[in-house]
Amino acid sequence: MKKLLVASGNAKKLVELRRIFAEVPGLEVVGPADVGGIPEVEEDGDTFEHNARKKAREIAQATGVMTLADDSGLEVDALGGAPGVYSARYSGDEGASHPGGQVGANNDKLLRALADVSAEERTARFRCVLAVADPRGPLGDDEHVSAGSVEGIIAVAPRGDGGFGYDPLFLPEGRQEAMAELTAPEKDAISHRARAASALLPFLHGYCGKDA
């Protein structure tokens, strides 16, 4: 079995990627706990791709394991594309005292920011960039980077208890349900992360010695 380390402390994200990559024979998708932990990498870039590449490269070199890093977030048109690369830390220190933690604080801040924005102007998209780095050298080949996005609108209140992050507030284009109300197969069919992950499948089949 060949290992692919998903460099994320988000257990739900790891489950989602394991589910998508299950079709690759000979691939074992592992998380930080399986390799004794991973170093913290400062996300100091102004694009999702910069942050994903940096995390993949540094963690692959630190662990000696082929590493996949994800940087993703929500872009709201009425907010000029915010929270964007700051999606996970949008509410700053508010999460420390919020009953819903950082995620709850982020969602509440977003709803406050859009309080006076009409339904037709609440357009947004989830965007994801995945980067895979080989520990034997720097990341320098675009075939190891993929991106995916999904358009939608922001709801006026949270809906559903599935998913994670901003999923309870995001209504994908063409759906009546929030992302958090979708089943796993429904989400995998349309999500930004699933689209980015699917684009990596040919590379991963090759990595494991199989044709796509």
Q: What is the CATH number of domain 2-207?
A: 3.90.950.10
Q: Which residues are paired to 50 by β-bridges?
A: none
**Catalytic entry in 70, 71, 134, 167:** 71
> Is 71 among the residues known to form the active site?
yes
Q: Which amino acid is at 111?
A: L
Residues 151 and 174: beta-carbon distance below 8 Å: no
Confidence (pTM): 0.90
CA pair distance 167, 157, nearest whole angstrom: 11
Ordered DSSP codes for 66-92: -EEEEEEEEEEGGGTT-BGGGGGGTTG
**Tens digit of each residue's pLDDT (9 = 90 or more) over 28-74:** 999 999 999 999 999 899 999 999 999 999 999 999 999 999 999 99
In the numeric block, the tokens 């993703």 are attached to 72
Angle, CA of 41, 42 and 46, to the nearest 5°: 130
**Tens digit of each residue's pLDDT (9 = 90 or more) over 133-189:** 998 876 655 558 999 999 999 999 999 998 899 999 999 999 999 999 999 999 999
Angle, CA of 146, 82 and 20, to the nearest 5°: 30
Residues 55 and 41: beta-carbon distance below 8 Å: yes
